[in-house]
Amino acid sequence: LLTGEGDPVRAAESLLRAGPACVAVTLGGEGALVATRQGVRAVPAFPVEAVDTTAAGDTFTGYFVAADAADLPPQECLLLATHAAAIAVSRPGAAPSIPVMAEVKQFSL
């Protein structure tokens, strides 16, 4: 909506031209992508049984930003955030569904 582009990759690339170092895009059941000046990386959604998607976006964003603040590379931020969101949607509720980091790291193994 911000760019007028229908394709998520083109939308992310358009946003990059506006100045940020990276752009993350969530794609629901299709996964997520991150675009940087080095290119675009995508990951599929992790196969979990979705119970409640209420906190999926907030969980993804929180984990992505926290990983970025810890100076992890964008691809690692994307994987961490996608894992956290997968855990969150497998649980009911909003705040109670958000996993702690230890759970996300275990899920990633």
Catalytic positions: 58
For residue 84, which of 54, 64, 109 has the smallest C-alpha distance?
64
Q: What residues contact 104, with CB distance under 8 A and at least 6 apart?
A: 63, 80, 83, 84, 87
